[in-house]
Amino acid sequence: MPMGMADIAEVLWNDFLQHNPINPHWANRDRFVLSNGHASMLLYSMLHLAGVKSDGQRKEVTLDEIKKDGKIIVATEGQFAPFNYFEGTKLTGFEVEVAELVVKKMGLKLEWKTLGFDALLTGLGQDRWDMVIASHGITEERAKAVTFTSPHYCSGGAIVTKNPALKTANDLAGKVLAVQTGSSYLDAAQKIKGVKEVKNFPKDPDAQAAVMAGRADAWITDKFVVMDVLKTQKNTGLQATGMLFVEKIAAAVGKGNQGLADAYNKALGEYMAKGGGYEALSTKYFAEDVRCK
């Protein structure tokens, strides 16, 4: 039997779904029954799903669309304690709690996705999720690809080592450094003059393990991550010896999705205002207020 329009469309559709991870918002909105009459509509819809507007521009999920669905899809890593990590099967952490409280203020439900750190901003660019919160420092380079929200804390890259003599960037000449792939620590490590080797690891705890096992001289990571390690893990032999740089940490939305960023910023602003709850949460995790001063 010859293939009709609907058959062709269905084949294309299935092929499309196989090759294109789609944002569930679209999946919810664009489901309909196939018929010959619907075939051209489906082709149109496929372009829509692929994120192509009729003028050929990429289409983002707007705040209105998110509100209509009632839920925002937020991606994080889940391997960066105490900011985003798993307690058993439960995703938790300082910024996980911040996001949950802020999204609640926005009147939305939150659906978490957890992925490798390196995939997070890329997936945002493909509209696979609406927002990322995973301790990203605001950098010019990243800001070319995503829109950052207001920061939810300030921190920086610390030198963590078994060797107390390694206190500054100069001391790291001739040394082997361990950092997380795709992180600002990798960038910082690569800029240090005379470094012998920069080893990078998909997960930050693996960079820590490399230093503990003597396969690297120093681990560069967030200063609060080190504090947490020193508090929760005994006999690591590690110490934080110095700071390399400071950074403002923020969530990110798709490039130019200003409506969503504004709504998040407004709710975050309320949460971070005096008595809004932020200070208490910050004290619970860090025994200090970690907001940018």
Least CB distance from residue 41 to ligand ARG, whole Å? 41
- In angstroms, the Cα distances linking 78 to 72, 81, 88, 114, 203 are 18, 8, 11, 6, 10
What is the DSSP pairing of strand 239-254 with strand 146-161?
A: antiparallel
Using CB under 6 A, pick the residue from 23, 135, 147, 161 that binds ligand ARG: 135
Using CB under 6 A, pick the residue from 61, 98, 134, 198 that binds ligand ARG: 134
Give the residue with the Cβ less far from ligand ARG, 135 or 161: 135
Using CB under 6 A, pick the residue from 13, 26, 94, 117 that binds ligand ARG: 117
- In angstroms, the Cα distances linking 12 to 26, 41, 127, 265 are 17, 13, 21, 40
Scanning 38-46, 106-114, 134-142, 234-242 for contacts with ligand ARG by CB under 6 A, the matching segment is: 134-142
The position carrying tokens 């012998």 is 196
Q: Six-digit token pair at 22?
A: 């789609």
Using CB under 6 A, pick the residue from 51, 82, 93, 137 that binds ligand ARG: 137
Is position 161 an interface residue for ligand ARG (rule: CB under 6 A)? Answer: no
| 46 and 10 Cβ atoms separated by less than 8 Å | no
Least CB distance from residue 84 to ligand ARG, whole Å? 6
Scanning 39-47, 135-143, 193-201, 227-235 for contacts with ligand ARG by CB under 6 A, the matching segment is: 135-143
Phi, psi of 150 (to 5 degrees): -70, 150
Binding-residue total with ligand ARG (CB under 6 A): 13
Least CB distance from residue 249 to ligand ARG, whole Å? 6
Q: Which helix (H) or strand (E) holds 66?
A: helix 63-69
Rounded to whole angstroms, how far apart are CA atoms 5 and 13?
12
| 140 and 199 Cβ atoms separated by less than 8 Å | no
Using CB under 6 A, pick the residue from 25, 61, 66, 80 that binds ligand ARG: 80
In which order are the strands placed within the sheet that holds 79-80? Answer: 79-80, 84-87, 90-92
Rounded to whole angstroms, how far apart are CA atoms 8 and 236?
60
Judged by CB under 6 A, the chain residues 178 through 237 that form the site for ligand ARG are 180, 183-184, 204, 222
Give the residue with the Cβ less far from ligand ARG, 69 or 247: 247
Give the residue with the Cβ less far from ligand ARG, 45 or 135: 135
Phi, psi of 254 (to 5 degrees): -55, 145
Least CB distance from residue 35 to ligand ARG, whole Å? 46
Give the residue with the Cβ less far from ligand ARG, 68 or 291: 291
Give the residue with the Cβ less far from ligand ARG, 134 or 178: 134
Is position 129 an interface residue for ligand ARG (rule: CB under 6 A)? Answer: no
| 212 and 238 Cβ atoms separated by less than 8 Å | yes
Binding site for ligand ARG (CB under 6 A): 77, 80, 84, 117, 134-137, 180, 183-184, 204, 222
